[in-house]
């Protein structure tokens, strides 16, 4: 079992970052981005009440379905695509090792 996983994140300028994410701290993608000082606001603190951590899933990893709260927030957000997710709703797990995500444009 892995202790850390790797996330590949493409920022708003198109620059790719390889992020190490520990599995033993119950962190989500928004928190990993903030820990690596990437430009993700997370204004609501990870409660799925803003879209400042919106990203696009660009790999074929199996990720839990959107919750009703996440669906509701994305229905009001800008730049939403079929592969849009809120980073705060993606928990770190072995299943997403190697995940590729792109930050959505900021508002």
CATH assignment of the domain containing 29: 3.10.20.30
Pull the structure tokens for residue 52: 């400042």
Which residues does residue 99 pair with via DSSP β-bridges, in sequence order?
Answer: 7
In three-state secondary structure terms, 72 is: helix
Domain count, the chain: 1
How do residues 27-73 score in pLDDT, each as one tens digit? 999 999 999 999 999 999 999 999 999 999 999 998 989 999 999 99
Domain enclosing residue 91, as ranges? 4-103
pTM for the structure as a whole: 0.94
Please state, in angstroms and rounded to a whole number, the distance separating the CA atoms of residues 54 and 60: 18
Cα 73 → chain centroid: 14
pLDDT of amino acid 106:
85
Please state, in angstroms and rounded to a whole number, the distance separating the CA atoms of residues 4 and 19: 10
Cα 105 → chain centroid: 13
pLDDT cut 70: percent of the chain above it: 98
Pull the structure tokens for residue 13: 């300028």
In three-state secondary structure terms, 25 is: coil
């Amino acid at each position: 079992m892995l202790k850390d996983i790797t996330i590949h994140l493409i920022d708003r300028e198109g620059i790719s970052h390889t992020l190490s994410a520990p599995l033993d701290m119950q962190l989500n993608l928004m928190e990993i981005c903030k820990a690596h000082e990437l430009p993700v606001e997370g204004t609501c603190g990870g409660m799925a009440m803003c879209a400042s951590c919106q990203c696009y899933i660009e790999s074929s990893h199996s990720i839990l379905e959107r919750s009703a709260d996440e669906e509701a927030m994305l229905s009001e957000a800008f730049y939403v695509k079929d592969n849009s997710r809120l980073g705060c709703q993606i928990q770190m797990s072995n299943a997403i090792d190697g995940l590729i995500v792109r930050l959505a444009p900021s508002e």
